[in-house]
Amino acid sequence: MAYAKAQKSKAYSKRFQVKFKRRREGKTDYRARIRLINQDKNKYNTPKYRFVVRFSNKDIVAQITSASITGDTVLASAYAHELPRYGLEVGLTNYAAAYCTGLLLARRVLKMLEMDEEYEGNVEATGEDFSVEPADTRRPFRALLDVGLVRTTTGNRVFGALKGALDGGLDIPHSEKRFAGFGKDNKQLDAEVHRKYIYGGHVAAYMRTLMEDEPEKYQTHFSEYIKREIDADCMEALYKKVHAAIRADPTTKKSEKQPPKEHKRYNLKKLTYEERKEKLVERLNTFNSAADDEDDDYHGKTYSKSKKTSPVPSPGFQRVRACHGDSKPFSDNKLVHRRTIALGLAGALTGLNIGGWNANAAAKRPPPPPPGEKKDPSISGLQAKVLASKKRKEAMKEEVARLREKGKAVNEPSE
């Protein structure tokens, strides 16, 4: 069969609309979300609450949220990492922990709304289906289950959190078909099986199986349970204590935030002009001392005519320092050259006189003409030099005549 290449026209590409970002990332089911957040028009701005449950590798997040034009607003939240405060330190992501997290959220939001005494929910978890009945004063708090992208299979942990929220006193529309223990054949919920999951009975059964069949795996798989001396027999009593502690105090415990530490600053402080000038003087003095040491080493060397040693540099390659009175040749590492450049730049910028060295390059130039004397623009440079030479000769002749008058023997200046 021949392969037919799909032809995408320009019009197709121009009109192509990408999916929403959270749909592209696989985070949001917008088909389900639209049906969860749509509100009746005759209810105006009444929020439509959702019971959101999400699982991570080490935590469970349960929230009561509502949608707004600016985004979702969280009314209350509960997390599995809060359960160690109530006595459950291990197994924070199983079915029993999901039940505890849902129960904690339900009691917390009802206490926030001052409805916890009217709607106590199901105090003793028996595994049977439970729905809260409306009281005479206020109707129960109603929310819709939001499972996200989780596959709603029978016995999923999401429905463990749902069962905890129902027993906590929330009104959530549901069916018992997805609770753990629901029979596919008889279409009925086995309350004993469901109760076993709520109190961690399935974990206890697995612990007993590993202890008998694979003791080594039991030591590694349940190491945290062993460290806290939790065995299969005390599992149910542990979860009963956790449920009672949650009902006793479901409020959020505010963590004490430490004041932020003073961070070290590594950026350099801006220097003033005087400080920059002092640093420049210090650097140039360092260059001077290093160059003088190199010059002393250079003059103390002895050179031979053998090929292994370098010959004395010829006068053609010897450079004279521009800012010093004597003429010393360069050393091999060019420190003198660097010093000369540094001093020249420093003199051009600051006009300093450092260590007896005249760093100002302008000091070597001839003095400018007197302020009263103006340069004639019609005279070229060569003509100006000729005139200057004539003036010097005339001045010399005048000096010779003056000395002769005093009786001194003076040679005539050469023309």
Residue 304 reports pLDDT greater than 50: no
List, in sequence order, every residue forming a beta bridge with 189; answer none if it has no partner.
182
Residue 385 reports pLDDT greater than 80: no
Q: What pLDDT score does 344 carry?
A: 55
Q: Tens of pLDDT along 95-137?
A: 999 999 999 999 999 999 999 999 999 999 999 999 999 988 8
**Checking DSSP bridges between strand 144-146 and strand 49-55, what pairing results, if any?**
parallel
Q: The tokens of 403 are what?
A: 């000395």
Residue 292 reports pLDDT greater than 70: yes
Please tell me the distance from the alpha carbon of residue 348 to that of residue 8, in angstroms, as a whole number: 69
Residue 406 reports pLDDT greater than 90: no
Task: Judge whether 274 and 267 are in contact, CB under 8 Å.
Answer: no
For 161-178, b/e burial (b = at least 16 CB within 10 A) is bbbbbbbbbbbbebebeb
Q: Tens of pLDDT along 20-76?
A: 999 999 999 999 999 999 999 999 989 999 999 999 999 999 999 999 999 999 999
Please tell me the distance from the alpha carbon of residue 298 to that of residue 330, in angstroms, as a whole number: 9
Q: The tokens of 114 are what?
A: 């001052």
Q: Tens of pLDDT along 210-234?
A: 999 999 999 999 999 999 999 999 9
Please tell me the distance from the alpha carbon of residue 392 to that of residue 389, in angstroms, as a whole number: 5
Q: What pLDDT score does 364 carry?
A: 47
Domain boundaries along the sequence of the chain:
24-248
Closest CA to 95 of 51, 190, 193, 161: 161
In CATH terms, is domain 24-248 a member of 3.40.50.970?
A: no
Sign for the CA dihedral angle at 179, 182, 188, 191 comes to negative
Q: List strands edge to edge, sheet with 60-68.
A: 71-79, 60-68, 49-55, 144-146
- Does this model's pTM top 0.85? no
Q: Tens of pLDDT along 232-291?
A: 999 999 999 999 999 999 999 888 888 888 888 888 889 999 999 999 999 998 988 887
Q: What pLDDT score does 219 carry?
A: 94
In 3-state terms, the chain is what percent helix, strand and coil (to 5)? 45, 10, 45
Q: What pLDDT score does 267 carry?
A: 86
Long-range contacts of 180-184 (CB under 8 A, 24+ apart): 180/95, 180/154, 180/155, 181/127, 181/155, 182/154, 182/155, 184/154
**Residues, the chain, total?**
415
Q: Kindly indicate the confidence band of residue 319, based on its pLDDT and cuts at 50, 70 and 90.
A: very low
Q: What is the mean pLDDT of residues 372-397?
A: 74
List, in sequence order, every residue forming a beta bridge with 171; answer none if it has no partner.
142
Residue 196 reports pLDDT greater than 90: yes
Q: Please tell me which residue, 338 or 396, carries the higher pLDDT value.
A: 396
Q: The tokens of 349 are what?
A: 């910028």
Q: Please tell me which residue, 346 or 284, carries the higher pLDDT value.
A: 284
Burial class of residue 262, CB neighbours in 10 A (0-12, 13-18, 19+): exposed
Task: Judge whether 202 and 210 are in contact, CB under 8 Å.
Answer: no
Cα-based distances in Å from 258 to 81, 84, 254, 262: 20, 22, 12, 12
For 365-395, b/e burial (b = at least 16 CB within 10 A) is eeeeeeeeeeeeeeeeeeeeeeeeeeeeeee
Q: Kindly indicate the confidence band of residue 154, based on its pLDDT and cuts at 50, 70 and 90.
A: very high
